Amino acid sequence: MASALDNLRVLDFSRVLAGPFATMLLADLGATVTKVERPGIGDDTRSWGPPYDDAGEATYFASVNRNKDSIVLDLGDADDLARARALALEADVLVENFRPGLMDRLGLGHDDLAVANPGLVYCSVTGFGRGGGAALPGYDLLIQAVGGLMSITGTADGEPQKVGVALVDVLAGLFASVGILAALQHRNATGEGQRVDIDLLSSLLAALVNQGSAYTAGGVVPARMGNEHPSIAPYELLPCADGDLVLCVGNDRQFAALCAVLGAPELAGDARFATNAARVEHRRALRAALEERLATRPAADWAAALIEARVPAGVVNDVAGAFALATTLGLQPIVSLPREDGTTLDLTRNPIGLSATPPAYRSAPPRLASPTTGHERR
């Protein structure tokens, strides 16, 4: 089947996660992505292990670099730099996440390239922007800390916690891919390329959504609440006879159904719990009443009964359990990609469903070329 981004040429100077994630999404949708890597080192994440796959490659690198070609260039070498520039002048999209100013000094900055390639969409990913934060290092954990995410993650009386994955990088990669596609749409209409600027701090602040607007529009500084929700109850993790149950009760009908399943319909008529606002105000009393009843049965039993009553509920899966659930539901979460040696590598499926131009899985992440194998690898 045709791919949505067939014939789109992307030159990818980015490393680690945000930029490579964005370019992988474009590659999944059909773009030809050429990844520029350093001699002998490549992308930093090639050495970020364990864990490793069965071919000895770091699984971190594998997670965001499928469907790409790799070319090894030393940007400190005049010939290699000239080759990089030639590739940039042929590209539709260029993505980079170097320190602000470095690409300009190399003659690979947006302003230089746009003169000879006016249709180029040039995406820069930085930690704190190209202005006052240009000198600051942009690491996901650092952004989670200074960007407020850790202040609202964890228990109220515990230390601030990071999210269990480099979420800010993933969000920035998503914003980058959306920005690139918007710029390409503009180019299709006008022939003009443009610069796309993405910074990790702004990406995180935008992704705070209701917690962000609580501050900007309501003057409230959110705090850590563990697994509770600041505006909904019960919307949390609750103990049962053998483990924990997740409850996500978003309206009064669901709460009444919950009470019926628990054999406590009187709770739905209690003035303290009759509306969501009342439940939030009296969340401690509500939690105590729910815990008393949930303690009588295993979490999985409660989850099954509640789902039958159309109450959002579930148990806490580990990653293996999450993939198993998706498989059971027919979501096909894993795809197998061919390697150069004829073996395959299993990776997570792109979640975008397109009826006419679905994502394609053409190749596993490329091996790093060496001086004896040549400049390019797929």
Catalytic residue list: 169
Dist CA 141 CA 169 (whole Å): 10
Dist CA 6 CA 25 (whole Å): 13
Identity of residue 278 = A
Dist CA 378 CA 370 (whole Å): 13
Dist CA 172 CA 110 (whole Å): 20
Burial 156-186 (b: 16+ CB within 10 A, else e): eeeeebbeeebbbbbbbbbbbbebbbebbee
Q: Are 55 and 339 in contact (CB under 8 A)?
A: yes
Residue with tokens 């209701």, as numbered in its chain: 210
Torsion on CA atoms 157, 160, 166, 167, rounded to nearest 10: 70
Q: Partners of 11 in the beta sheet?
A: 34, 94
List Cβ<8 Å contacts ≥24 apart for 254-262: 254/310, 254/311, 254/312, 255/279, 257/306, 257/309, 257/310, 257/311, 258/234, 258/306, 258/309, 258/311, 260/309, 261/302, 261/305, 261/306, 261/309, 261/311, 262/290, 262/293, 262/294
- The Cα-based distances of 40 to 17, 61, 292, 302 in angstroms read 19, 15, 60, 54
CB proximity list for 19: less than 8 A, separation 6 or greater: 12, 13, 95, 96, 97, 123, 125, 173, 176
